[in-house]
Amino acid sequence: MFKRKNIALVAHDKKKQDMVEWVRWNKEVLAPHILVCTGTTGRLIQDTFITEKHNLPTKDFEIIRLKSGPLGGDQQLGAMIAEGKIDVLIFFWDPMSQQPHDVDVKALLRIAVLCNIPTASNRTSADFLISSPLFESDYKPIVKDYQDYIRRSIEDI
């Protein structure tokens, strides 16, 4: 059963072109879904499809743009993940450059793992993720209940 997913797309500066190329290459797979992007990444993807006219009407490509990552977009996305509003995170991060907002990046990746959503960190893992038979299904990830952990932490105080 097909389920329209909210797919988060994030890319560090040196990986933005990789993300644009990946979205271009996978446009048919991604088009039925909602793309939730941090600011600049979303603008670059929008601009690519508006200017190149990939035989895909822009109106059929729904893109929600958040703030730029360092200006709060990573935190906005983390909140959406925590609220169960994001199904997949594709985050092309740059392992060779220090980011001024590394704390926000770490928090975003942490909440993605905590909420057990599928996460890809490069083109290959993103290709594997969207080509899985589970991608087009109504898959519900199992989310661990952390209440015991929270209760024990409070008791330790």
Between helices 73-82 and 102-114, what is the axis angle to 10°?
Answer: 10
For residues 19 and 13, what is the distance between their CA atoms, to the nearest angstrom?
Answer: 10
Q: Which two tokens stand for residue 28?
A: 């048919």
Is 138 an annotated catalytic residue?
Answer: no
Contact by Cβ (8 Å): 5, 34 = yes
Cα–Cα distance between 40 and 37 in angstroms, integer? 8
Cα 44 to chain centroid distance, Å, stands at 15
Tokens linked to 20:
């644009």
Can you tell me the distance from the alpha carbon of 117 to that of 111, in angstroms, rounded to the nearest whole number?
A: 9
Among the listed residues 18, 60, 74, 104, the single catalytic one is 74
The residues assigned a catalytic role are 74
